[in-house]
Amino acid sequence: MKLPIYMDCHSTTQVDPRVLEGMLPYFTERFGNAASKSHSFGWKAEEAVEEAREEVARLIGATAREIVWTSGATESDNLAVKGVARFHAAKGRHLVTTAIEHKAVLDPMAALAREGFEVTVLPVSREGLVDPEAVRAAIRPDTVLVSVMHANNEVGTVLPVEEIGRITREKGVLFHTDAVQSLGRIPFDVEAASADLVSLSAHKMYGPKGVGALYVRRRPRARLLGQIDGGGHERGYRSGTLNVPGIVGFGRAAALAREEMPAEAPRILALRERLRRAILAGLDRVTVNGSLERRLPGNLNLSFAHVEGEALMIAMRDVAVSSGSACTSASLEPSYVLRAMGVSDELAHSSIRFGLGRFNTEEEVDHAARLVVEKATKLREMSPHTATSTQ
């Protein structure tokens, strides 16, 4: 077993060696611009881009013409949210989302609010779930977009997008879902979700960073305004020279996910449960944040009473994880996702997110669990709260 151990797969993943192998020729001998139509270098690049488009589409039950390449999930979210809102502004200026969306959705929503749009932010349950009926109740005659993520990046909760999609379709409102965390980890189908726009990213599923996609439904057609002008690439939705090696990598990662997910997801779930059971057996006053029933296989978000998450993370520096606090220049803020779920600031500060993936082993899980138990016990012994606590 090699140290350090990587368990932060919701942040990013290692590029699968098979993905890298497929990408390498497109940096060197097949380096053409996919928009160059007058010679074989451009033709080969365009052919590779279209093959990758097919693979990504196939993974989500879409057609290739519905896939628009972007630089990543943040751009995809911005294109979906701002693109739809601005296109349909004459029809209505009301948007609906949830309190636990990624900042790549919440920040564009806030920017649109400054432009005069009205945004309804729906609350979530203690498990991080939004009630589909709350979505129905929030939709008004002037609502143009509902944006609800498929799976949460912090607590791994899988939201009821199929029920929400049925409601938005019935109401004639466009539905966007950020499927970045679920793509390649659990099945996702655009038809089952009745999704009109779906944000996707390669680097959360063993592909390269800096490449993403936006699914844009053709029937019934989702209409939106491009946000980057300059040449009309990607059918006018997204101008700019395509990142051919990255796109090839995304296509290869999608093909591998489609082939290997049926076996990989149960294996990763077994590793997560092994980790959860070992930690809970060795420590008391540990809370699982989010739903255990509706959850990504590799996600484990735990709060350790009377232990600072940042301190625990530093103490177990041989294991790469993330904490439920975000460093800002002025203070250490507890996670807004955990806060929205009703987790106290104290417990939110004590939370750690483990993200297990394709390359983790049982040996690594056992080592990480031992380390967590040992370091959390030590930190509690040093904590002034522990001696007086009755929890």
Q: Phi and psi at residue 297, in whole multiples of 5°? A: -60, -35
Among this protein's residues, is 327 annotated catalytic? yes
Q: So what's the pLDDT on residue 329?
A: 43
Kindly state whether residue 201 falls inside one of the protein's structural domains. yes
Kindly state whether residue 192 falls inside one of the protein's structural domains. yes
62 in the same domain as 206: yes
Tell me the C-alpha distance between 243 and 3, whole Å: 33
Q: Which residue stretches of 88-192 are H helix? A: 103-114, 132-138, 161-171
Asked which of 224, 241, 256 is the last residue of a domain, the reply is 256
Q: So what's the pLDDT on residue 148?
A: 98
**pLDDT for 116 beyond 70:** yes
**pLDDT for 326 beyond 90:** no
Kindly state whether residue 245 falls inside one of the protein's structural domains. yes
**pLDDT for 301 beyond 80:** yes
77 in the same domain as 188: yes
Asked which of 256, 274, 290 is the last residue of a domain, the reply is 256
Total Cβ atoms within 10 A of residue 40 = 11
237 in the same domain as 283: no
Q: So what's the pLDDT on residue 348?
A: 95
How many domains, in total, are found in the chain?
2
Q: Which of 327, 342, 345, 361 is catalytic?
A: 327
Kindly state whether residue 159 falls inside one of the protein's structural domains. yes
223 in the same domain as 163: yes
235 in the same domain as 106: yes
Helix, coil or strand: residue 17 = helix
285 in the same domain as 141: no
**pLDDT for 166 beyond 80:** yes
146 in the same domain as 47: yes
Q: So what's the pLDDT on residue 330?
A: 52
195 in the same domain as 58: yes
Domain with 186 in it: 17-256
Kindly state whether residue 382 falls inside one of the protein's structural domains. no
Q: So what's the pLDDT on residue 383?
A: 79
CATH number at residue 266: 3.90.1150.10
Local confidence band at 332 (pLDDT 50, 70, 90 cut-offs):
confident
Kindly state whether residue 388 falls inside one of the protein's structural domains. no
351 in the same domain as 202: no
Instruction: List Cα–Cα distances, 381 to 18, 281, 377, in angstroms.
Output: 46, 18, 6
| Percent residues over pLDDT 90 in the chain | 94
Q: Is the Cβ–Cβ distance between 309 and 324 less than 8 Å?
A: yes
Full-model pTM: 0.96
CATH number at residue 204: 3.40.640.10
220 in the same domain as 81: yes
Q: Is the Cβ–Cβ distance between 269 and 158 less than 8 Å?
A: no
326: which strand partners? 333
Q: So what's the pLDDT on residue 388?
A: 47
Both tokens assigned to 303: 């709060």
**pLDDT for 389 beyond 90:** no
| Percent residues over pLDDT 70 in the chain | 96
- Window from 2-11, 319-328, 339-348 with minimum mean pLDDT: 319-328
Instruction: List Cα–Cα distances, 293 to 157, 165, 354, in angstroms.
Output: 9, 21, 17
234 in the same domain as 291: no
Kindly state whether residue 197 falls inside one of the protein's structural domains. yes
Mean pLDDT, range 177-197, rounded to an integer: 98
Mean pLDDT, range 81-104, rounded to an integer: 98
Radius of gyration of the chain (CA): 22
283 in the same domain as 215: no
Tell me the C-alpha distance between 100 and 190, whole Å: 21
The bridge status of strand 143-147 relative to strand 67-70 is: unpaired
Asked which of 256, 274, 300 is the last residue of a domain, the reply is 256
Kindly state whether residue 389 falls inside one of the protein's structural domains. no
Mean pLDDT, range 194-222, rounded to an integer: 98
